[in-house]
Amino acid sequence: MINSNPIGLFDSGVGGTSIWKEVHALLPNENTIYLADSKNAPYGQKSKEEIIYLSKKNTEYLLNKNAKLIIVACNTATTNAIKELRSSYDIPLIGIEPAIKPAALHTKTHTIGILATKGTLNSELFHENIKKYHQINIIEQIGFGLVELIEKGELYSEKMDTLLHQYLKPMVEQNIDYLVLGCTHYPYLIPQIKKIIPSTIKIIDSGEAVARQTKKILEENHLLNTNNRSKVNNEFYINDSPKVMQELIGKSFKVIKKDF
């Protein structure tokens, strides 16, 4: 069966494009619509109620565009709102949570680090999930200011370097061997992070796993698009300046500024 309706994705801003890239690489036949709610970024500093409100608004926008499946391309929105979204909408929803499990299973030093937003690290869902790994030492660090700098396009700035040093050095000193990136904006910081931490520390994020899960859910629900690849349509909408997002996704795709 062919279902050419789009996969919808949303994030508080440009970060979820790191997830979109993985999804597009694995499922190149699929039409997609990406919403960047940059006007309201960062979500990580907002209350749970506000995050739920914004997540519902984004979801409804994508449903109006006939999305057949929605990826909540934001750890903060997932950990705070996925339960409410699942109980409110009758559509497959894929959430993104920090990839603690592979790090916890493979750590040799029994110490792993996680860098994520305040909203994610303080969420009930995150706390519930890490209970399983009480035998290892999980060093949690809030990435204050990182999302704001990425949204401004200051990825390679002195300010970024200073913050990353401040957040990562204590983890290195405590002998982590895995660093989990628990925010979809952070994969864009991997080159900068690699300059700070030793190469023996593995960096993991959830992008590939989410793409695989998306494929599995589409298959199970008979929602895959088996149409010819040349007809694929990838739409990107942002409710603030499109400049940074355009740079992050490259010239092959057009980012459109729109109020939503």
Asked if 183 is an active-site residue, the reply is yes
Indicate the residue among 41 and 93 with the shorter CB distance to ligand DGL: 41
Given the residues 7, 94, 183, 245, the one annotated as active site: 183
Separation of alpha carbons 75 and 194, rounded Å: 22
Helix axes 17-26, 207-220, angle to 10 degrees: 50
Number of H helices, E strands in the chain: 11, 10
User: Is the separation of the CB atoms in 10 and 34 below 8 Å?
Assistant: yes
Indicate the residue among 43 and 178 with the shorter CB distance to ligand DGL: 43
Asked if 74 is an active-site residue, the reply is yes
Indicate the residue among 126 and 225 with the shorter CB distance to ligand DGL: 126
Give one DSSP letter per residue of 81-100, joined into a string: HHHHHHHH--S-EE-----H
35, containing H or E segment: strand 32-36
Shortest Å, Cβ 227 to ligand DGL: 30
Shortest Å, Cβ 46 to ligand DGL: 8
Which residue's Cβ lies closest to ligand DGL?
44
- N- to C-terminal Cα separation, the chain: 32
Q: What does the binding site for ligand DGL look like in residue numbers (CB under 6 A)?
A: 11-13, 15-16, 41-44, 74-76, 117, 120, 147, 183-185
Q: List the beta strands (DSSP E) in 99-206.
A: 111-116, 137-142, 178-182, 202-204
Given the residues 14, 52, 67, 74, the one annotated as active site: 74
User: Is the separation of the CB atoms in 180 and 141 below 8 Å?
Assistant: no
Shortest Å, Cβ 203 to ligand DGL: 15
Indicate the residue among 30 and 151 with the shorter CB distance to ligand DGL: 151
Shortest Å, Cβ 58 to ligand DGL: 12
* Catalytic residue positions, numbered: 74, 183
